[in-house]
Amino acid sequence: MKRFSTTMGSLAILAGLAVAGPAMAQEKAAPLQWQYFQADENGFNRTPVLLTGDKEAILLDGGFTLSDGKAVAEKIKETGKKLTTIYVSQSDPDYYFSLGPVKAAFPDARIIAAPETVDAIKGNIEAKLKVWGPQLKDNGPQKLSDVVIPEASDVKALELEGNEIEIVPAEGMTNRRYLWVPSLKAVFGGVLTTAGEHVWLADTPDLAQREAWIRNLDTIAARNPEVVVPAHMKPGSVTDVSAIKFTRDYIAAFDEEAAKAKDSGELIAAMKKRYPDLGGESSLELGAKVIKGEMKWE
């Protein structure tokens, strides 16, 4: 398992964890700060986000491995803030498998997710453990009792010291959402944006789903965010609107090439030609096989 690198505004090596920020809110009336915790490729380059006020904090999503979770817990402790809430925005295991150490460090924090997210987690958790348990070994949950499953909540927004954090469902998509912080003009959470690596498309096998995805990206862009922390990103990527454009352009390119390709091999080759320097090739390979009908992903 590789250790983390640390990002604090600009990149700096610190304690095996990548942290970007904290960044102050652009408006003087908003006292929130934010930082993200960058996992390496073993943690699928995930980016949980911590929002902090004067005294309290909210964690938006967990990560994949237990070592990720331990590192995040230590960084939260260093802030000296009280962690009140952990919000899980997506049902994939790389959003909650790491939460055991965080819960142990902050047992009073409420861990919540949308009912659809909780239902999806419960619906496939045994299958996920069967696949990932043997691979993660002692760096991941091995049985159901090891997994932190969020409490279902239909709350439409979170609140941190007077600042609203909106939970925005993605229109036309099942179990997809992101979080919008007006005081920061920031987009966090969800799985709608990626930066510096192939976009994970295996969960959206139908063209209509990907077209809805693009429409939601346009809606996000129309908010004119100043901060966008992608769900998965190459370490060192910028956290701005470029992630929206990259993801949108990638999906459009993928669909264009998918319509022409005879099979996944041709589709993979075409996308590598368009994007020769991207990481996460396994995402491209699986997505291509699913979209071309050569396999199913559950």
pLDDT the model gives residue 297: 85
Domain extent at residue 229: 192-298
Looking at the structure, tell me whether residues 172 and 201 fall in a common domain. Answer: no
Phi-psi region of 278 (alpha: psi -120 to 50; beta: other; left: phi over 0): beta
Same domain for 228 and 114, yes or no, is no
Which parts of the chain register pLDDT below 70?
A: 1-30
Predicted local distance difference test score (pLDDT) of residue 258: 98
CA distance 85 to 150: 11
Query: Do 138 and 215 share a structural domain?
Result: no
Is the sign of the CA dihedral 276, 266, 249, 51 positive or negative? negative
Query: Cα(122)–Cα(150) distance, rounded to whole angstroms?
Result: 10
Do 220 and 268 lie in one domain? The reply is: yes
Both 257 and 277 in a single domain?
yes
The phi, psi pair for 7, rounded to 5°, reads -120, 125
Residues 36, 164 within the same domain? yes
**Domains identified in the chain, total number:** 2
The 10 Å Cβ neighbour count of residue 56 is: 15
Q: Do 296 and 200 belong together in one domain?
A: yes
Any idea which residue has 């199913």 for tokens?
296
Same domain, 152 and 24: yes
- Token readout for 185 is 């003009």
| Same domain for 199 and 174 | no
What's the confidence (pLDDT) of residue 33? 97
Q: To which residue do tokens 């990638």 refer? A: 250
- Residue 121 tokens read as 């987690």
**Same-domain check for residues 217 and 175:** no
Query: What per-residue confidence (pLDDT) applies to 140?
Result: 98
pLDDT the model gives residue 15: 36
What digits encode the pLDDT tens for the residues 225-246? 999 999 999 999 999 999 999 9
Q: Which residues contact 270 (CB under 8 A, 6 or more apart)?
A: 257, 260, 261
**Domain of 157: which CATH number?**
3.60.15.10
| Digit-coded pLDDT (tens) for 39-62 | 999 999 999 999 999 999 999 999
pLDDT score, position 168: 99
Same domain as 152, residue 284? no
Q: What is the DSSP letter of 43?
A: G
What's residue 205's pLDDT? Answer: 96
Using the 3D structure, point to which of 162, 183, 204 is the last residue of a domain.
183
Do both 15 and 52 map to the same domain? yes
* Cα distance between residue 264 and residue 240, in whole Å: 32
- Write down which residue in 163, 183, 203 finishes a domain: 183
- 191: phi then psi, degrees, rounded to nearest 5: -135, 25
β-sheet bridge partners, residue 85: 58, 110
d(CA 17, CA 4): 4
Which of these three, 149, 183, 217, is where a domain ends? 183
Contact 69, 53 (CB under 8 A): no
Gap between the Cα atoms of 206 and 66, Å rounded: 33
